[in-house]
């Protein structure tokens, strides 16, 4: 089974800080994703990547960037954290083919103060 690991379960950062959220998968998957989850809004796609150094904007990319230097690692970057970025962040990896599916990490609860 795929394992998707997010490095931090809880983070507290100050407004204006640069924040890095890390995600690692162990199955050499090409497609990886970053979502944020807010009550009443479900999961909204921030960015996704379909290969090393390849990225595409999702539905809410403003205020975020991403980095994928190695296939197993997909990082979400908040260039200058703001209070409206307080949220739960979920990383996912896509299994292709017959076993097609999406595996999610356990999430990072980010609070910006």
How many Å apart are CA 111 and CA 84, to the nearest integer? 9
Smaller CB distance to other proteins: residue 81 or 92?
Answer: 92
Are 29 and 89 in contact by the 8 Å Cβ rule? The answer is no
At its nearest, how many Å lie between other proteins and the CB of residue 42? Answer: 4
Strand pairing of 4-6 and 19-25?
antiparallel
Instruction: Decide whether 41 or 113 has the Cβ nearer to other proteins.
Output: 41
Q: How far is Cα 81 from Cα 5, in angstroms, rounded to an integer? A: 22
Nearer CB in complex with other proteins: 16/41: 41
Short-list 84, 77, 92, 75, CA closest to 111: 84
Minimum CB distance to other proteins, residue 15 (Å): 26
Write the DSSP symbol of residue 75: E
**Shortest Cβ 82–other proteins spacing (Å):** 23
**Cα Rg, the chain, nearest whole Å:** 13
Instruction: Please report, as ranges, the residues that interact with other proteins according to CB under 8 A.
Output: 31, 33, 35, 40-45, 48, 50, 56, 58, 90, 92, 94, 100-107
Q: Which is nearer to other proteins, 2 or 77 (by Cβ)?
A: 2
């Amino acid at each position: 089974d795929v394992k998707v690991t997010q490095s931090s379960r809880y983070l507290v950062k100050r407004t204006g800080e640069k924040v890095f959220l890390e995600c690692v998968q162990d199955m050499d998957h090409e497609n990886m994703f970053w979502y944020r989850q807010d009550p009443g809004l479900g999961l909204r796609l921030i960015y996704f990547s379909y290969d090393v150094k390849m990225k595409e904007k999702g539905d809410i990319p403003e205020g975020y960037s991403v980095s994928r230097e190695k296939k197993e690692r997909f990082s979400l970057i908040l260039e200058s954290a703001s209070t409206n970025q307080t949220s739960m962040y979920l990383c996912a990896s896509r299994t292709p083919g017959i076993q097609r599916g999406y595996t999610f990490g356990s999430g990072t609860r980010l609070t910006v103060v």
